[in-house]
A and B are shown apart, each in its own frame.
Chain A
């Protein structure tokens, strides 16, 4: 944008020389349209109990209240006419106007397809492999304390992936884990170093929203596991801990499975 253009563009906001109507329509409805899409999707996810696929439960209330308020504004903006004045930003050339109109249209279509049409989904192993497993996201001390209270009851099968991971983070002494049966539900994630013999029963830990999800998991030793199960399958594994027979995998302990059952993905796939 050249400096010479600026005076015209500023004056243009005053009256008759307002930009062509497609640019005005784009300017007026771009934000409202995108808000409508997000607000509707949020309310729907909230009503159908799937908001947890994207954000931490502590935000549910706030997010839904603001979404309903946003919806009120969106509907109201259809009722009230636009005020005459528009922002003087980038009002210069025809090409720029065209770009703004086209950009708004493309963005609205992309938003409608991805936010409204695509089925909601949990994160997959693609993100898990991109982030190192058991490397963060979990306050292991706090989780281990919770686990310790459960361990006190002797009911090891009630411990979840999260609790086993935090216990394993505290100690990998085989004697501590001997004779303890674990029953774990999670998705199948191949071990990075020994993908043929070891897979993780994995979950994502979410701190704020799915973007900060960190994979955690308990290693399972089963040579040739991929003949029967595929990555991202949800399984329930029962078995006992042994020193990991794999020579290459990092984890020193692994579960030797007695049963592996395919299960449905839980309605709340993340842990917090």
Chain B
């Protein structure tokens, strides 16, 4: 933990420290089962087991997402994908909402990316569309949702369609805004007007200052992305496990079998637990037997776009007023999608 300053001075001991820490972790893990008698109650034990199963199931997908986004951000030519976008605004936003197919990091990774896009010439509504669509319309989210739910109950289809529609409707609404720059925090608007000020964005890091090696930039990206995603994954998994073990089944069943309450309860849960969209399908799978499909779909749609962690990240870019509006719009449309599935599907 204390190698930070050392490694800045390029002391190769950093590598040794790293290997020693990994070896230490393996040693602890290998020796600890020898000590029985932690004396945990069944419920505590199960909370740990359930949380751990979500973490172990999700972590490889998190790593894969970071890896793919690193390839696009660091190893492909800068602005490579933006050259192919149509010019007509509605078509352009529709194309942008599919950009997530190439940037399959969940919502946390997309905020820095969207900031980079805005500095690089996206309009504000276009970035909002990207920000809202990319967490859902990306290959990893679609694969994990399919792994968890298949095509059954229309959950996957509802999630994909609702994600696309919501992102484009909100992008269109904000394209009617007379002064889109007023949606941004003053500091970020200033850095957009003066592109060289965007030193914080990954894809511009190499534009000024010392040139960094691509490998180094990739590793750095890994550190940043995991710093945001892994804590959220741990806390989210723990909340999920605690809910499973300690909230009486009768309460869950009562909420989950009501077409309206199942949607509202799952949206509230999505807002609080803030699990990444890449892996939230595994998280919500445990509610699959108690909650109606519309509730699950609302969870997967709303939670991918908006949650406590996401709002904290977006606050770096957008004004509070804008975020309240976006949250309300996404919530209303996600609820509508969920209710539609419950009543019609």
Contact = CB atoms under 8 A, between A and B. Distances in A.
Interface of A: 1, 3, 6-7, 9-11, 13-14, 21, 24-25, 27-45, 51, 53-55, 59, 62-63, 65-67, 69-71, 73-90, 103-104, 107, 110-112, 114-127, 130-132, 135-137, 207-212, 214, 232
A168 B211 CA distance: 68
Nearest to A11: B187
B-side interface mostly = helix
Contacts of B46: 123-124, 126-127
Given A66-B61, A110-B234, 5 more contacts: A67-B63, A76-B222, A81-B9, A208-B285, A209-B56
Interface in B3-22: 3-5, 7-10, 12, 14-15, 17-19, 21-22
Given A7-B186, A66-B64, A119-B33, A31 B56 contact: no
Given A44-B29, A70-B63, A76-B219, A38 B56 contact: yes
**5 tightest CB-CB pairs across the interface, nearest first?**
A78-B18, A31-B226, A66-B60, A31-B227, A210-B53
A210 B67 CA distance: 26
Interface in B134-180: 147-148
A211 B241 CA distance: 8
Nearest to B148: A208
Given A119-B38, A130-B245, A208-B57, A37 B4 contact: no
Contacts of B21: 36, 78
Nearest to A65: B60
Tier of interface size on chain B: 35 or more
Contacts of A103: 231
Nearest to B230: A34
Given A32-B226, A124-B42, A127-B50, A82 B220 contact: yes
6 contacts: A42-B59, A85-B199, A114-B52, A117-B29, A127-B245, A211-B240
Given A53-B49, A114-B52, A118-B38, A67 B59 contact: yes
B14 to A, nearest CB: 5
Contacts of B8: 81-82
Nearest to A29: B1
Nearest to B235: A107
Given A31-B229, A38-B56, A210-B49, A79 B18 contact: yes
Contact of A6 (B187, B197, B240): B187
A87 B224 contact: yes
B244 A127 contact: yes
B285 A207 contact: yes
Given A21-B4, A103-B231, A119-B32, A137 B52 contact: no
Given A7-B187, A73-B222, A79-B7, A209 B26 contact: no
B276 to A, nearest CB: 13
B1 A33 contact: yes
Nearest to A125: B42
Nearest to B4: A25
Contacts of B10: 81
Interface of B: 1-5, 7-10, 12, 14-15, 17-19, 21-22, 25-26, 28-30, 32-33, 35-36, 38, 40-43, 45-46, 48-57, 59-61, 63-64, 67, 112, 147-148, 185-188, 190-191, 197, 199-200, 205, 209, 212, 215-217, 219-220, 222-231, 234-235, 240-241, 244-245, 249, 282-283, 285-286, 288-289, 312-313, 315-316, 319-320
Given A44-B29, A55-B53, A85-B205, A90 B147 contact: no
Nearest to B224: A87
Contacts of B30: 44
Nearest to A89: B316
A37 B234 CA distance: 12
A173 B191 CA distance: 75
A124 to B, nearest CB: 4
A1 B222 CA distance: 27
Nearest to A83: B220
Given A45-B56, A118-B32, A211-B285, A85 B200 contact: yes
A89 B312 contact: yes
A34 B14 CA distance: 18
Given A41-B56, A54-B57, A119-B36, A31 B49 contact: no
Contacts of B55: 38, 115
A85 to B, nearest CB: 5
Contact of B57 (A9, A127, A136, A209): A209
Contact of A71 (B22, B53, B289): B22
Nearest to A108: B1
A42 B191 CA distance: 42
Contacts of A24: 4
Contacts of B43: 126
B289 A211 contact: no
A223 B17 CA distance: 60
A82 B28 contact: no
A74 B219 CA distance: 8
A132 B290 CA distance: 10
Given A107-B231, A131-B289, A75 B49 contact: no
Nearest to B28: A116
Nearest to B11: A81
A2 to B, nearest CB: 10
A65 to B, nearest CB: 8
A115 to B, nearest CB: 6
Contact of B49 (A34, A45, A122): A122
